Chain A
């Protein structure tokens, strides 16, 4: 029986409505308990800010496209080298680091749980292998359904039960966690040399629209009682004027779940653009935030852009082709058989570039204009907007108008005519930051009941202690101290074990992969469905090899849900 007592912690735990209380946290066998015995090991937090372990609800750190980003950019691999130290493996890479690089850097920042934002089911095995080598975080993966032939066919046939059945089978086969739609229908259209410009265009051959795909997948998601909602990357990413498409998409979303949102819209910064060309490109964050504020059934994440080098990677193949035509940089594009696609392009976001400056402003505006921090999650869509190591700087920008003005003075001078950022004086407080970096994620992913994202008795003991005394500091002025504190914890504790101490990580953690297995009525079980078998004649692998066996996973926890079908 391993016991640990964290004394004198200044705790913010939004899920339990604790805001800056000095308290002790007791841990037994990896779980938080009411109290421990006198023999427990003691960590004296000395009044330092103590939060539940950070959760990234949308990041790209494991899987085939991440690996492609690694090997097409030797310059990126050279940019972030660290040597072996104690139990820490050598790492390399800056925007697309090695698995250990991602894991150590997240851990040093207090993150204990990550969700890989896009896993093609046929590439799932690779993602799970990389999860196994991301030792300091629990992991889960969104499964890409945006161009799934079986689903589009079922939608066209009006067979909603079959849509749910394919989702259920595929989630369990890929050992995935949630439904991801990336530019729904668009990547399939790209296979025909086309794209989808908005939600009412038709996908070639399948003749369904993104509207139909989104509506049907939301219904399937809720009928399978999945922990997370549909996780959507809207159509038409990164094009001037796309905000109208985003608003139209938000209007499609009913409120179907009283525990969480019905739609998680990811990296909304990239979908909040006004104007008709890059010349009159401008921010439409106010319109998007107004829609969000009126729709509690939607949660977004920021997809903040930060200046510097990074790598873009997404299942949105046509978007990456447009990006390639803009930059003429290296480009990779993949067609992923009967389900999706992907593209990877390295980019540099520059302050001297007006478009990049406006993008930077939009992400911040969304976070500052969203009234409810539970509805706006802090992300960069790592590494698309910036590598996740920039999160502390984003926290600094959200907490300090002074810091925002300082950076604003260095961006393209036209930015003030294109964005409302300088007129927003809101400064987020510690509690709101705690919501946006862990609590809102736990709620949105539906993992509070699994003991994630809070510090109440019964929770998994994932705890981050940051070297900062929040009572003695004014974040609006002393933003540099805030940034430094969020860059490196004193202690990151995962499952009751200290996994990172002042940036020095240990290799031991019982990192667990969470996956979902929906139970459907026997009539909808596709395991022996001859029609469903036919798809596998078109794949390059057999059905038996397509399925990721449970034994191929590292430590894992299966979440069984009972479908209401």
Chain B
């Protein structure tokens, strides 16, 4: 087993964004491999931004855990294309964490910025704090969002959560923002709190909201009421989005029409 400790160094100008897509477990199998990050428009060695300390050895990515500490809230693209192993982020993490991820686990103890788990195909992301907008979505212009794996957010999630979701599961324990599940094509979106205008133009998949949906869209057909087996709460089931001849399922605890 190997643990890679990456501590973000104090920065003179913390507002310059850092792109760190090379921070994935498999890149540390060879301890001497030179890795780089982008600081603004400059490519710099990883060690210029992070204090690196490695314990143990590993022959496979799955035996590696990366632990990121310090002011990491503006560090983007950590875990992009990650396929195995683990990343633990003690604080906050910047945008696009876990883009295109296919395996392994990422745990964020703080908040995640926008685009968490964008277009991921497998693996698990756990965010203990809040997630920003577009969690588990596709990038602008992309036909499909997340296609597989699991994202669990214990705090709130932002607008457009699970936009174009095509597979996998997204669970938000807090509230989610506006237009969540828009263009959903498959997979499951579960929101334990409230949300608004959910699932516009949905064509497939299932979205469950245990709180209240504000500005409920008029283009969903009433199906009936069911009792949720886990929480034993009554849910109203809709099918839609009928404007798109969609075959999605939308289950809500309560809703307010726009």
Chain A: residues with CB nearer than 8 A to chain B?
A: 71-75, 83-84, 90, 329-330
Contacts and interface: CB of A to CB of B under 8 A. Distances in A.
A76 to B, nearest CB: 9
15 contacts: A71-B140, A71-B141, A72-B141, A73-B141, A74-B139, A74-B140, A74-B141, A74-B142, A75-B142, A83-B43, A84-B41, A90-B41, A329-B143, A330-B141, A330-B143
A329 B139 CA distance: 16
Closest 4 CB pairs of A and B: A72-B141, A74-B139, A74-B141, A74-B142
Contacts of A90: 41
A90 B139 CA distance: 20
Contacts of B141: 71-74, 330
A73 B140 CA distance: 8
Interface in B27-61: 41, 43
Interface in B136-189: 139-143
A407 B31 CA distance: 46
A458 to B, nearest CB: 43
B134 to A, nearest CB: 12
Nearest to B42: A84
A75 B141 CA distance: 9
Contacts of A75: 142
A61 to B, nearest CB: 19
Contacts of B140: 71, 74
Contacts of B43: 83
B41, B43, B141, most chain A CB atoms within 10 A? B141
Nearest to A332: B141
Contacts of A330: 141, 143
A83 B143 CA distance: 27
Contacts of B143: 329-330
Interface residues of B, number: 7
A243 B143 CA distance: 35
Contacts of B139: 74
Nearest to A71: B141
A90 B143 CA distance: 26
Interface string B58-88: 0000000000000000000000000000000
A309 to B, nearest CB: 14
B19 to A, nearest CB: 12
A84 B38 CA distance: 12
Nearest to A76: B141
Contacts of A71: 140-141
A74, A90, A329, most chain B CB atoms within 10 A? A74
Nearest to A83: B43
B83 to A, nearest CB: 18
B24 to A, nearest CB: 17
B64 to A, nearest CB: 26
A93 to B, nearest CB: 12
A72 B138 CA distance: 12
Contacts of B41: 84, 90
A550 to B, nearest CB: 33
Nearest to B38: A83
B114 to A, nearest CB: 15
Contacts of B142: 74-75
Contacts of A84: 41
Nearest to A72: B141
A65 B203 CA distance: 28
Given A74-B141, A90-B41, 12 more contacts: A71-B140, A71-B141, A72-B141, A73-B141, A74-B139, A74-B140, A75-B142, A83-B43, A84-B41, A329-B143, A330-B141, A330-B143
A72 B140 CA distance: 7
A329 B141 CA distance: 11
Contacts of A73: 141
Contacts of A83: 43
Interface in B169-213: none
A72 B141 CA distance: 4
Nearest to B143: A330
Nearest to B139: A74
Nearest to A73: B141
A277 to B, nearest CB: 27
Contacts of A72: 141
B142 to A, nearest CB: 5
A83 B38 CA distance: 11
A71 B142 CA distance: 10
A299 B47 CA distance: 60
A329 B143 CA distance: 9
B17 to A, nearest CB: 15
Contacts of A329: 143
B255 to A, nearest CB: 31
Interface string B222-255: 0000000000000000000000000000000000
Contacts of A74: 139-142
A157 to B, nearest CB: 43
Nearest to B138: A74
A485 to B, nearest CB: 32
Nearest to B142: A74
B101 to A, nearest CB: 16
A84 B42 CA distance: 9
A426 B149 CA distance: 56
Nearest to B41: A84
B182 to A, nearest CB: 15
A83 B43 CA distance: 10
Interface in B108-155: 139-143
B109 to A, nearest CB: 30
B42 to A, nearest CB: 9
A83 B36 CA distance: 14
Nearest to B119: A74
A107 to B, nearest CB: 22
A442 to B, nearest CB: 37
A101 B141 CA distance: 20
A137 B141 CA distance: 30
A90 B140 CA distance: 21
B254 to A, nearest CB: 35
B60 to A, nearest CB: 28
Nearest to A74: B139
Nearest to B141: A72
B106 to A, nearest CB: 21
A330 B164 CA distance: 13
